[in-house]
Structure 1
Amino acid sequence: MSMDVERARHLRDKERGLHRPHAFARQPGTRKHREIRFSRLKLDQVEQAFVLLSGLDGLTVSPGIVPHGISVWYEITDYTMEGLEAALIDQGFHLENTLYSKLVRALVYFVEETQLRNMRQPERLLKKSHEVYSKAWDHHPHGDHDDTPADLREQK
């Protein structure tokens, strides 16, 4: 197999333990890899953001797949993509503004918010939930209820 730039990055990241899944690939668990892409008009901001984000605890930063991006790895319980990008925007950075990047960004924000909300919810005990619905059904008036007194029902 021939060695190209993408294959070389893949091998380097595999050796470092920094796997780069595709943006739409499933990332089970709480450890996330994301790509933050900046406006192509200001390429110097990539290095500034790299330095700024490298100083955060629990955040691993490396050069991005594209020249105007950086890759970040984090625990979703510590950081979110929305929080990181909002902080960068507050510091004056300009993110990529294409339709594709907006769609990916919105999807990632939604997925991470949903995962965090689900992690905060208590786990439902499915065996117990059946009992709750059965009891509610017994007390709820419905068509299967027979109003005939029990002593008259038994006489036939």
Structure 2
Amino acid sequence: MRRETAYKLAGRRHDHPVAGSGMEKHRELRFKKLPPGQVEQALRALSMLKGLEVEEGVGEYALVVRYSVLDYSLESLEEALREAGFALDNTLYSKLVRALVYFCEETQRHNLVSPERLLKKSNEVYIQAWDHHAHGDHDETPPDLREYK
């Protein structure tokens, strides 16, 4: 039985979670020192994107971005910046944080678009599937073979 069929038989809804459930992200983009002036250029470029808030970060070479995980991901933003010629910080710490954030956001996006899991109504799926099955509940085994003597 396909997963979608099981969800329909159990009567599950496929609604997205409510706002404020961790979909709004607040991330820091770190740049290299060279070339000079790239942080200001990146600030102007990112501020033109709809649904993305950008401001200067704590450090001299950092920007802070706020976005919904349904609209953007840190990976897509950083990839767009790299393709535009910006040099992002590539220290070991930045690589580790970046990999963790990429994985978490990808997993969250995947979970948001997939339907709810069947946790408490899974037995109803099998009951309804059995009722809809063509053979019904007839057992063709002779009665004398069904009983253990």
TM-score by length of 2: 0.69
- Give the structure 1 partner of residue 43 of structure 2: 50
Equivalenced residue count is: 119
- 1:125 deviates by 2.5
Contact persistence 1:58–1:75 (CA under 8 A): yes
CA distance in 2, matches of 1:72, 1:155: 71
CA distance in 2, matches of 1:126, 1:101: 38
1:67 aligns with 2:64: no
Q: Equivalent pairs: percent with the same residue?
A: 58
Structure 2: any 5+ residue segments left out of the alignment? Answer: 1-19, 130-141
Q: Per chain length, whose mean CA-contact separation is higher, i.e. which structure has more relative contact order (CA < 8 Å, sep 6+)?
A: 2
Give RMSD over aligned pairs. Answer: 2.6
Q: Which one-letter code corresponds to 2:52 in the other structure? A: L
Matched position secondary structure for 2:70: coil
- 1:132 deviates by 5.5
Structure 1: any 5+ residue segments left out of the alignment? Answer: 1-26, 136-148
1:103 aligns with 2:92: no
1:116 aligns with 2:109: yes
Q: Which one-letter code corresponds to 1:108 in the other structure? A: V
TM-score by length of 1: 0.66
1:123-134 equivalences under 5 Å are 123-130=116-123
- Give the structure 2 partner of residue 9 of structure 1: none
Q: Which moved more, 1:28-37 or 1:80-89?
A: 28-37
1:7-156 equivalences under 5 Å are 28-130=21-123
Contact persistence 1:36–1:72 (CA under 8 A): yes
